[in-house]
Amino acid sequence: MRRTPIAHVIFPRPNLLRPVPEFAWEAVRAHTETEDLDVSVYMPVPVRAIQKLHGRVRQRRGAAPWPDGLEEALLALSPRPKLVRYVPVPRRSTEVATAAIAAHLLKGPRASQPAVVHGSFLDEGGYAASQVARVLGGPSVVVAHGTDVRVARGLADGGINRKRRALHALRDAARVLAVSQDLARELSFLGQRAEVLQFTSRGSAFPLARAPRGAPELLFVGRVGAPKGVDVLLDAFARVKTEGVTLRLVGPVLPGFDVEALARAKGVAGRVFVEGELAQDALPAHYARASMLVLPSRGEGLPCVAVESLLTGRPVVASAVGGLSELIDDRVGRLVPPEDPAALAAAIDDVLAHRKDFRGRTLRSRAEPLTWEHVGPRLCDVTRSLLPR
């Protein structure tokens, strides 16, 4: 069988532990597991000569620099991506990177050019995928994940260029996917119809774990900062009445967010543990040890960590925002109003008091339909629907 070339555009992250978003890489893997689709991944990277200069510019803007060894980490991925060099330009780097990928593909033989181009995040990979496909004269699939939709609607501070790119992606894409019903509704305000397809985690990577023993532990996984409501979480943790509870924060601490000072101010410093960024394969052990996941975000698309917690058999206490409202109910956890530490503390105490009511298999069965084992074939069907007949 002749395999049809498909392309995924992924912008790498300046992070050696997690250089690409796992859900975007799972979308790639879903296509590699087919017999009829031949997948190539294109990643824009700054030219070597100015990587350090580019890193200093990023640091002045409060962003992470390009770390040594990142390209080697990218090339160790399977399938091996094609790194496309570009020269970063202030406030236009995404556009320049997109042009570099388009030029790279145009130079290749016509038969090897992708029939469909995929990209996640409307203002980044989605924009690049839509514009590259437009240059090649083919269709694209773009995926909206959360903040990019709010940027497109002008509800988040992302700058005029991010908003413009997001709107271009929506205008030029053949198919728009949203990871939750809530995001699809938000896109409808822009006159855009989106199909809902969850981009979360692979179920086999997060096996069901036995009930934890010992003192209760609350777990937070994500970027440790105000957007994820960690300040609210620390306030709520100080109000929890159940004795002996500890809190573990897993994820990178955002610049300017002093979690230790906030914990001291709330009188809980001795019971809060900050792990920092961890590799994806280190997460199942943390879910297994925890009594529950707590996710007090101020806004969400569909957080993978909530699905991962349920797959492991741990309930979730979360803010009633975005896709969380579509995933969490009283059978698998509790939802509370955002930015309400008193309600969050009461929900935590309630779940701890009724831990035996949350059965692991029930929690896992709630999350399994959202895993890549189920979603991957549906994404591949979207791709096939765009292939020339």
Q: Give me 293's structure tokens.
A: 């996941």
| Cα–Cα dist 97/95, whole Å | 5
- Choose among 340, 154, 343, 333: nearest CA to 229: 340
Residue 214's pLDDT band (cuts 50, 70, 90): confident
Find how far residue 302's CA is from the centre of its chain.
8
What is residue 66's predicted lDDT score, i.e. its pLDDT? 80
Quick one: average pLDDT of 209-235?
A: 94
Q: Is 367 exposed, middle or buried (0-12, 13-18, 19+ CB in 10 A)?
A: buried
User: HEC states along 197-234?
Assistant: CCCCCCHHHCCCCCCCCCCCEEEEECCECHHHCHHHHH
* Ramachandran quadrant class, 212 (left: phi over 0; alpha: psi -120 to 50; beta: rest): beta
Residues 6 or more apart from 8 whose CB is under 8 A from it?
24, 27, 28, 31, 39, 40, 41, 42, 117, 118, 119, 129
Q: Are 249 and 230 in contact (CB under 8 A)?
A: yes
pLDDT at residue 379 above 70? Answer: yes
Q: Is the pLDDT of residue 54 over 70?
A: no
Segment 232-250 mean pLDDT: 97
* Inter-residue contact 43 to 11 (CB < 8 Å): yes
Task: Out of 43-47, 158-162, 180-184, 300-304, pick the least confident.
Answer: 158-162
Tokens found for residue 308: 């991962």
Using CB atoms within 10 Å of the CB of residue 161, give its burial: 0 to 12 exposed, 13 to 18 middle, 19+ buried: middle
Q: What is the pLDDT of residues 57-69, one digit of tens each?
A: 666 766 677 888 9
- Check residue 61 and give its pLDDT: 67
- Angle between helix axes 159-172 and 126-136 (nearest 10 degrees) is 50
Residue 358's alpha-carbon distances to 51, 80, 326, 348, 364, in angstroms, are 49, 41, 18, 13, 10
Q: Are 144 and 21 in contact (CB under 8 A)?
A: no
The structural domains of the chain, ordered by start, are 4-200+371-385 (3.40.50.2000), 204-367 (3.40.50.2000)
Task: Check pLDDT > 80 for residue 51.
Answer: no
Average pLDDT over residues 164-173: 96
pTM: 0.93
Q: Is residue 310 a contact partner of residue 364, using CB atoms and an 8 Å limit?
A: yes
State residue 58's pLDDT score. 65
Binned at pLDDT 50, 70 and 90, residue 163 comes out as: very high
300 vs 336 pLDDT, higher one = 336
